[in-house]
Amino acid sequence: MIIKSLSFKQAKQKIKKLIEEIKYHEKKYYVDNDPQISDYEFDKLVKELKEFENQFPELITPESPTQRVGEQPISGFESTEHRTPMLSLDNCYSREELKEFEERIKKIVPSEKIDYVAELKIDGLGLSAIYRDEKYIQSVTRGDGFRGDDVTLNVKTIRSLPLTITDYHKIEVRGEVYLPFLSFQKINQERAKNDESLFANPRNAAAGSLRLLDPKEVASRHLDIFLYSIFIEGKELPSQWENLQVLKELGFKINPCSRHCSSLEEVISFWEEWREKREDLDYDVDGIVVKVNSTEQQKSLGSTAKFPRWAISFKFPARQATTKIQNIEVQVGRTGALTPVAILEPVKLSGITISRSTLHNEDEIKRKDIRIGDYVLIERSGDVIPKVVSVMKERRTGKEVRFVFPAKCPVCGSLTFKPEGEAISRCTNSSCLEKLKESLRHFASRRAMNIEGLGEALVDQLIEKKLVKIISDIYFLKNEDLLNLERMGSKSSQNLKDEIEKSKPRDLTRLIYALGIRYVGERTAQALASHFKNLKTLSRASLEELIQIEDVGPKVGESVVFFFKQPENIELMNKLKEAGLNFFYKKEKKEGDLPLSGQVFVLTGKFSRMTREKATEIIKDLGGSVTSSVSSRTSYVVVGESPGSKLERAKKLEVLILEEIEFLRLIKKD
């Protein structure tokens, strides 16, 4: 058919027919897992639709399958409030704990029959998607449960999520975005080719992919989604099982492994079944979600500040595998710390091939009697790096070799030093290349100087080609220096130069943290910056002056004094000043003008409305200070869930105690 010969009306009919056909095959392929045509035939349909839309652009609609990937990258993600909170789930790890969960339910609804829905707990990223007038309009990540990031355009690239629905004016669906193992492996293979750091697991890769600024790149990651709840015209359905059935009828993808259980014993059977079968799945699950089926009973049970009382996550045991230690290597960190790493015979665990495991330090190797050639049991739980749980000594043949910790740095050959009372040996050479690499990565990291584009591969090149011999050298790089590096064109070179320039006026707190002074984290950096006001004064501070500051003890104070006495660090300060970095602490208002001026806070327990880091930031912005221990000087102790011993200490000293909601009123956030 020659497109140009068609009238506008004929083209409109043809486009409508093509869209309906493509939507049908998308559902069969991505949702039902029952493809009816080959990939080649499907691609031909999409190509034909594109040709019609190119000829008749006025007929292109946002719901067209060709519009899943927008043309323009996103400038950033706006924070959006959820209509109703997306609460996280409490966890349990044993049958006994699950039975306690049911006992708590029966105390609230004692005479009612309870049935459950058991679903696989997808290790992904929680998400809400909204439809208006039968069209997809918005997606928001779970975030802190109350607000999340608007990722509408990126979620639009997920082909199993329909762009249109029928029959309803207003719908909200919630689910979990995940990355299939095959897609995860392809992404990491590509990153390895480009000398980029690898994602630790599919969940991290899914979260990272969803926050990319270019929807085209998101589309290439092949994310997927399972939906588990729906609000129709703002109302809930009578049961969770009905939620799943209606979602399926409307064309949404639900997890086919969910089960309606009439008793807790059936739930436990479901858990036992999938504990054994989870390795057969092409996505990562770390347990099951158990939900009271009845919506009315859910409402009666209600929620705590953070968790619904009617649902719980019943976790699977940590994943373990047996493998062999082929060698032990030693890595050098930015503080010179030497960390032994086991090189393993590759073994598959959680859908990932594991070939390395940290051994922490020399004492850990001795305590567990770990030798090269040993068969070991490794474990990976959650997002953490795999660890060696135990050595299978009964499998030893006598050929195993004891590991001797090096007396010299494996990178530069300098002598190592192990401070008295510490478990970690350190390289003593301030010019060690590996220390410099780690220091520069830390300096450029998001929570330090936030220099976008200065990643691991580029740092390696800059140092190996001797373009950077001291951190401050990055501020004196020239375009011609960068153009000689791999994968660096004129545009990317200028972008990096711009990012480096943008870091110069960053506040003093970030700069102190970026310097990588041992024991000085973000919180201590803030305390040092607000007390000394400028870097020059801090660099001349005595130990006696330093330990007068809240959160600075003798160990931290000694480390700060030692850092600023080193000739190479004095040179670094001078070079950074020459480059034009901000050395002064900036405060928009005088502390006396601020509402919490002079007030001392201690935060303890888990908060539901904001992170403790965010609460600390707000308190300091309002003129208050935050300390880690309760004393007679403490003005308020703010308590979340599971507050621990600090609450008892506060009661003993008769310090004013604030619940989270009272704290929010105090800072006028509620």
Share of the chain above pLDDT 70, in %: 93
Coil, strand or helix: which one is 643?
Answer: coil
The number of angstroms, rounded, from the C-alpha of 377 to the middle of its chain's C-alpha atoms is 27
At a CB cut-off of 8 Å and minimum separation 6, what does 395 contact? 374, 375
Give the pLDDT confidence of 242-276 residue by residue, as tens digits: 999 999 999 999 999 999 999 999 999 999 999 88
What residues are annotated to the active site? 121
Q: Between the ranges 185-199, 481-495, 529-543, 590-604, where is the mean pLDDT highest?
A: 529-543
508-579 shares the fold of 433-502: yes
Residue with the two structure tokens 């089926």: 293
Segment 308-312 shows an average pLDDT of: 95
The predicted pLDDT at position 444 comes to 93
The predicted pLDDT at position 669 comes to 63
CA atoms of 601 and 34, how far apart (whole Å): 58
Asked whether the beta carbons of 126 and 273 are under 8 A apart, the reply is: no
The alpha carbon torsion through 27, 30, 32, 37 (nearest 10 deg) reads: 70
Per-residue pLDDT band at 587 (split at 50, 70, 90):
low
Q: Between the ranges 294-298, 354-358, 364-368, 569-573, where is the mean pLDDT highest?
A: 294-298
Give the pLDDT confidence of 50-69 residue by residue, as tens digits: 888 888 888 888 778 887 76
**Going by CATH, does the domain composed of 91-315 fall within 3.40.50.300?**
no
Give the architecture-level CATH label for domain 322-417.
Beta Barrel (2.40)
Q: Where are the alpha helices (DSSP H) in 83-151?
A: 95-108
Selection from 221, 211, 213, 157 nearest residue 189 by Cα: 221
Which range has the worst mean pLDDT, 179-183, 208-212, 590-594?
590-594
CATH superfamily of 433-502: 5' to 3' exonuclease, C-terminal subdomain (1.10.150.20)
The predicted pLDDT at position 287 comes to 93
The more confidently predicted of residues 661 and 477 is: 477
Does 238 score more than 70 pLDDT?
yes
Which range has the worst mean pLDDT, 279-283, 552-556, 589-593, 595-599?
589-593
Which range has the worst mean pLDDT, 215-219, 600-604, 631-635?
631-635
Torsions phi, psi for 283 (to 5 deg): -145, 165
Asked whether the beta carbons of 513 and 522 are under 8 A apart, the reply is: yes
Which range has the worst mean pLDDT, 88-102, 284-298, 374-388, 448-462?
374-388
The predicted pLDDT at position 457 comes to 87
The predicted pLDDT at position 6 comes to 78
Does 565 score more than 50 pLDDT?
yes
The more confidently predicted of residues 587 and 283 is: 283
CATH class for domain 591-666?
Answer: alpha beta
Please give the structure tokens belonging to residue 220: 């290439």
Asked whether the beta carbons of 355 and 346 are under 8 A apart, the reply is: yes
Please give the structure tokens belonging to residue 185: 């492996």
Does 381 score more than 80 pLDDT?
no
**For the chain, domain boundaries:** 3-67, 91-315, 322-417, 433-502, 508-579, 591-666
Q: What share of the chain is helix, strand, coil (3-state, %, to 5)?
A: 40, 20, 40
Query: For the CA atoms of the chain, what is the radius of gyration?
Result: 29
How crowded is residue 105: how many other Cβ atoms within 10 Å of its Cβ?
Answer: 21
Segment 567-578 shows an average pLDDT of: 92
Mean pLDDT of the chain: 86
Coil, strand or helix: which one is 354?
Answer: strand
CATH class for domain 508-579?
Answer: mainly alpha
The predicted pLDDT at position 197 comes to 66
Coil, strand or helix: which one is 582?
Answer: coil
Segment 504-517 shows an average pLDDT of: 93
The more confidently predicted of residues 573 and 645 is: 573
CATH number of the domain located at residue range(s) 3-67 in this protein = 1.10.287.610
Helix 567-579 vs helix 554-565: crossing angle, to nearest 10: 70
The predicted pLDDT at position 83 comes to 86
Selection from 75, 79, 76, 54 nearest residue 64 by Cα: 54
The predicted pLDDT at position 589 comes to 46
The predicted pLDDT at position 609 comes to 80
Give the pLDDT confidence of 117-176 residue by residue, as tens digits: 999 999 889 999 999 999 999 999 988 788 888 999 999 999 999 999 988 889 999 999
Selection from 508, 404, 514 nearest residue 451 by Cα: 514
Give the pLDDT confidence of 78-129 residue by residue, as tens digits: 878 888 888 888 889 889 999 999 999 999 999 899 999 999 999 889 999 9
Does 599 score more than 90 pLDDT?
no
Q: Between the ranges 257-261, 514-518, 543-547, where is the mean pLDDT highest?
A: 257-261
Does 522 score more than 70 pLDDT?
yes
